[in-house]
Amino acid sequence: MEPEINQPPVVLVTGSGGLIGSRVCPRLKERYTVVGIDLHPPQEPTDHLDDWYRVDLTEEDSVSQAIAQVKADYGDRLASVIHLAAYYDFSGDPSPLYDELTVDGTRRLIKELQKMHVEQFQFSSSLLVMKSVEVGERLTERSPTSAEWAYPESKLKTERVLQEERGDIPVLVLRIAGVYDEQGHSLPVSHQIQRIYEKQMESYFFPGNEKCGQSFVHLDDLAECMVSAVDRRNQLPPWKTLLIGEEDVMSYAELQEAIGRNLHGHEWPTIRIPAFVAKAGAWVKLRMASSKEDEPFIKPWMVDLADQNYPIDTTEAQQCLGWAPQHTLRETLPTILQWLKSDPAAFYATNKLGELEPAEGAKG
């Protein structure tokens, strides 16, 4: 089809059907033409997209054909490309998809986009590419990087690919904190809630510094951040990196206590144990798992990362995008926990927590 003469600026979103894509596309559609590309067709309803194309980022021909079709249907100008598609696995196991999809898939995409006029390329990186800081310090865009497992390593490698391959396309790298919403949708937080709700033995022990913590960002705030970035695309430099998350960070101990008090009516003690003990326990539970589905969330390699500390300074994001989070995990946590108490089965299913094993005495 021919591009409409008065059509709003076009934004292309990869991974449009994913958790973040499903939040950002409806907001973009209020003032942009939103075109999704993804491996799987969108689930109904599809009114948050103006159009959709299938693409497999691991195949060069698939990427080339999809971009050529977008160009034929919508013209050669894109206001922004919001690149969300990537491989993600919390098992910590190496996977060829980190390179084939996240790294090389981005390389294929940015090369094909050279054939169009792209005003902005947004890359959804991760705060986990940053080197942990000491308690009392905050990360900034100038802090050093130090990816320590496969997922952040793939993000950091992809940032370097974009520096090398972007040509004249302006790139905005968003190093995004852990996402969540009122239903949970955060693997670390939902699994911690599960352990305390079920009164699992591991829920009392922690091998790291319980004063450490990690920034999070509400999915709605992240969507607004990305829309603001599109709105201000012509005011940003050709290459910019921003840290996206909340400055209010709950320490591990604070989060533990808040969950325990809400679910069981009293403080939930955090007992510090040596890392080698925690690692041995995690290894035993992993070996005892009868299937992949039964494997515990906490893996031995995670124990080494228990002291990581990721509070951030969001000054640059506020200055560049006119954006600041409107939610905090601290304020949203009671809503998350209330949903668990009112409908445990739905909470477990939404957060992929496996079989429901409610603890006796959990308060309603």
**The token pair that represents 349 in the structure block:** 């299913």
Using a 10 angstrom Cβ sphere, with 0-12 exposed, 13-18 middle and 19 or more buried, the burial of residue 197 is: buried
Report the alpha-carbon distance of residue 50 to residue 34 in Å, rounded.
5
Separation in Å, CA 237 to CA 38, 39, 112, 123, 170: 28, 31, 22, 15, 7
- For the segment 154-159, the average pLDDT, to the nearest whole number, is 97
The pLDDT value recorded for residue 283 is: 40
**The token pair that represents 238 in the structure block:** 């050709």
Report the alpha-carbon distance of residue 18 to residue 87 in Å, rounded.
12
Separation in Å, CA 187 to CA 82, 172, 229, 236: 23, 26, 27, 33
Please tell me which residue, 313 or 357, carries the higher pLDDT value. 313
Which of 263, 260, 306, 258 is closest to 282 using CA atoms? 306
Give the Cα-Cα-Cα angle 42, 46, 49 (nearest 5 degrees).
Answer: 95
The position carrying tokens 């080494």 is 304
Supply the DSSP string of 234-251, one letter for each residue: GGS-SEEEEEES-S---B
- 169-173, 247-251, 289-293: which has the minimum mean pLDDT? 289-293
**The token pair that represents 44 in the structure block:** 């109904």
Bond prior to 45 in cis (omega within 30° of 0): yes
pTM of this prediction? 0.89
31-68: b (≥16 Cβ within 10 Å) or e: ebbbbbbbeeebeeeeebbbbbbebbbbeeebbeebbe
270 has pLDDT over 70: no
The neighbouring-strand residues paired with 244 are: 176
SS3 call for 1: coil
Report the alpha-carbon distance of residue 197 to residue 341 in Å, rounded.
9
- Domain-wise residue ranges, the chain: 10-177+215-244, 187-213+250-308+329-350
The pLDDT value recorded for residue 126 is: 96
- For the segment 251-270, the average pLDDT, to the nearest whole number, is 85
The pLDDT value recorded for residue 343 is: 96
The helix (run of H) or strand (run of E) holding residue 163 is helix 150-165
Percent of the chain at pLDDT above 90? 69
Report the alpha-carbon distance of residue 283 to residue 231 in Å, rounded.
48
> CA 14, 322, 171, 33 torsion: positive or negative?
positive
The architecture in CATH of the region 10-177+215-244 reads 3-Layer(aba) Sandwich (3.40)
360 has pLDDT over 70: no
Supply the DSSP string of 84-146, one letter for each residue: ------TT----THIIIIIIHHHHHHHHHHTTSEES-EEEEEEGGGBPP--TT--B-TTSPB-
Which of 132, 319, 133, 153 is closest to 240 using CA atoms? 319
The position carrying tokens 């808040």 is 258
Report the alpha-carbon distance of residue 30 to residue 50 in Å, rounded.
11
295 has pLDDT over 90: no
Give the Cα-Cα-Cα angle 242, 248, 252 (nearest 5 degrees).
Answer: 110
The pLDDT value recorded for residue 44 is: 63
Instruction: Please report, as a single letter, which amino acid is at residue 264.
Output: H
pLDDT bracket for residue 280 (50, 70, 90): very low
Report the alpha-carbon distance of residue 41 to residue 344 in Å, rounded.
30
- For the segment 83-112, the average pLDDT, to the nearest whole number, is 90
**The token pair that represents 361 in the structure block:** 């005495």
Report the alpha-carbon distance of residue 2 to residue 74 in Å, rounded.
7
318 has pLDDT over 80: yes
